[in-house]
Structure 1
Amino acid sequence: MAPRAFASSADLSAKEQTLEILADGVYALTAEGDPNVGAIEGEDFLVCFEAMATPVAAREWLALLREHTDKPVRYLVLSHYHAVRVLGASAFDADVIVAHQNTKELIAERGKQDWASEFARMPRLAKEPDSVPGLTWPSLTFADQLTIDLGGDRGDLVLRYCGRGHTEGDIVAWLPEQGILYAGDLVEAEAALYTGDAFHYDWADGTLDQVAAFGASTLIGGRGAVSQGKEAVAAAIEQTRHFLRVMIKEVGATHRSGGTLRTAFDRAHAALVGRYGDWPIFEHCLPFDVARLWDEMSGVTRPVIWTAERDREVWDQLQS
């Protein structure tokens, strides 16, 4: 059998984008498993959620948004740090870029390495990579919660840290009056999880419990379709939890028995592929997922920095 192409390097076909208006002035853009983004109208300004991989990609999103509103972007909210989520920030000309304080520390620690890693893994998302002026730095950070007054009768937008999960700096954006939650990559709806920088145990239990506690009636996950209705929201959260728990069970059994990383990968793959194998980026993510979980089980508390070189080493070891 021919070797599998590295990560998503062979996935070069365009994905159909869908702009949904979820409530008055509340938007989500999904794209067949590509990273989701969103926007919320304040009385005389916009809050944008996520920034795309490059300014060129971000401007395409903004052009769609400008068909509905011409309000200036006051806040750009970054749910976490991964290069394909944040490096398009300059296109928004936002007054304030908001992230969790841990996210700012992650950018300082591993921003350049992650940039090289992610653009090599997903070249299709990196439209005109030379347009990126440099690392994206938040200008406002917080630890637990930050509330943005949307003005007029539009209510509040609540940004909250629910605990370590997809990274150690994930935040969500909650519109309590509308029951709408932007969950970032803490929840995926019919898209495989990327857990290469995750804290699996925290995520699968306490963090997802905090997400579920909002009681959202609409949820925009990091990838996949918008979940509409409380049953669909609960299903998306539980699918995310199930993926994590299956990984923990299968990799853990191999780790306890003194097996190898490759055996752990094969075992996790066999347990997950039937339900998740046809979902976007499943084969791309799983080697990096298992490698991080193996490290976590080996006592490596914080994720090892992914570099373009380490990516290839893990891929060749597990997906060859």
Structure 2
Amino acid sequence: MSKAFASTADLGPKKISFDQLGEGLYAYTAEGDPNSGIIVGDDSCMVIDAQATPAMAADVIAKVRTVTDKPIKYVVLSHYHAVRVLGASAYDGATILASDATRGLIVERGEQDKASEIGRFPRLFPGAESIPSGLTWPHATFAREMTVWLGKRQVKLMHLGRGHTAGDIVAVVPDAEVAFTGDLVEYHSACYCGDAHFKDWPATLDAISALNAKAVVPGRGAALTSAAMVKDGIMLTRDFLSTLYASVADSVAKKRSLKEAFDAARVAMDPKFASFAIYEHCLPFNVSRAYDEASGIDWPVIWTDIRDRELWAKLQG
């Protein structure tokens, strides 16, 4: 029996949590749905990842207003995916920040990604009609590192290397030793690897480990509220990636077809990761990208709504 396409059958509500990680530091999480982070400074706030629509962003803003009335001055896009960025218009007057590489990906594939993600996961796009026409563009970008001051509070934005995408940002609050990693780290949630750079991602995880953060807000899953949980989250992410890529690379070396590689990857992955959020959604796209990279295709092929469904039918049909 074929499985429902991507997450089109995932229609049930998720419990929203709004947890404090330190003074003025909060995690907005939703049982495996995309997370946002909030940093409150002396005179203003920063939100990490805008959510998928203005309606979704409005809920984040409402949670922020339960803890502070300071203006949201900055919105950081950890990467270019639609579920992270298309709610940015709700943050009236905020400056949108991203890496240079993320802006380049928006130029190259933003329109296709928008259609792809809305098709894959309709529950995450309530009020999609309120998304302004066109794409969400950052107001300021940087190559490797940028410092933002929220009054006296420093926030360091760092592009530590390729991983989930070519442009991922990590935000660090030095005074509290808290980091916001976007989808470079997940916790009991599948990594989406359709735009990944598998060979680079482990080194990027090493750089995150070297930050020695006491708490982390991952891209999906519960906030990591202790150094032990941070270590566990990074370890789980690394294990997910290495198990997946090793299996697919072995299939490529043995000249197996993509479908054969998918079946072999399921044998390797299911026992450890089948219970993770969005696992079934991600697996076909993950195997396809891993197969490409193991075959020598460094730059991820652009996903479109048509390509999505063709691949799903081929591998999950």
Matches within 5 A, 1:1-320: 2-133=1-132, 134-152=134-152, 155-204=153-202, 206-320=203-317
Partner deviation per Cα, 1:7-50 (whole Å, 9 max, x = no partner): 00000011000001111211111100000001111211111110
Q: Indicate conservation of the 8 Å contact 2:86/2:136, yes or no.
A: yes
Q: CA–CA distance in 1 between the matches of 2:119 and 2:11?
A: 12
Q: Indicate conservation of the 8 Å contact 2:156/2:173, yes or no.
A: yes
* TM superposition outliers: structure 1 runs of 4+ over 2 Å: none
Q: CA–CA distance in 1 between the matches of 2:37 and 2:242?
A: 29
1:94 to partner: Cα distance: 3.7
Q: CA–CA distance in 2 between the matches of 1:258 and 1:24?
A: 54
Q: CA–CA distance in 2 between the matches of 1:252 and 1:296?
A: 8
* SS, match of residue 137 in structure 1: coil
Q: CA–CA distance in 2 between the matches of 1:317 and 1:20?
A: 41
Amino acid at match of 1:301: D
Q: What TM-score do the two structures reach when normalised by structure 2?
A: 0.98
Partner deviation per Cα, 1:199-227 (whole Å, 9 max, x = no partner): 001002x1111111000110110000111
1:291 to partner: Cα distance: 0.4
* SS, match of residue 275 in structure 2: coil
Change (3 A) 1:248 1:38: same
Q: Indicate conservation of the 8 Å contact 1:29/1:38, yes or no.
A: yes
Q: Indicate conservation of the 8 Å contact 1:8/1:122, yes or no.
A: yes
Q: CA–CA distance in 1 between the matches of 2:248 and 2:48?
A: 34
Larger mean Cα displacement after TM superposition, 186-195 or 291-300: 291-300
Query: How many pairs align?
Result: 316
Q: CA–CA distance in 2 between the matches of 1:76 and 1:184?
A: 13
Structure 2 stretches lacking a partner, 5+ long:
none
RMSD of aligned residue pairs (Cα, Å): 0.9
Q: What TM-score do the two structures reach when normalised by structure 1?
A: 0.97
Amino acid at match of 1:58: A
* SS, match of residue 185 in structure 1: strand
1:150 to partner: Cα distance: 2.1
Q: Indicate conservation of the 8 Å contact 1:182/1:221, yes or no.
A: yes
1:305 to partner: Cα distance: 0.5
Q: CA–CA distance in 2 between the matches of 1:82 and 1:279?
A: 20
Partner deviation per Cα, 1:125-161 (whole Å, 9 max, x = no partner): 0011111003110010001110112223xx3111001
Q: CA–CA distance in 2 between the matches of 1:230 and 1:135?
A: 37
Change (3 A) 1:187 1:94: farther
Q: CA–CA distance in 1 between the matches of 2:291 and 2:250?
A: 11
1:189 to partner: Cα distance: 0.7
Q: CA–CA distance in 2 between the matches of 1:162 and 1:269?
A: 30
Amino acid at match of 2:259: R
1:255 to partner: Cα distance: 0.3
Q: Indicate conservation of the 8 Å contact 1:76/1:94, yes or no.
A: no
**Identity across the alignment (%):** 48
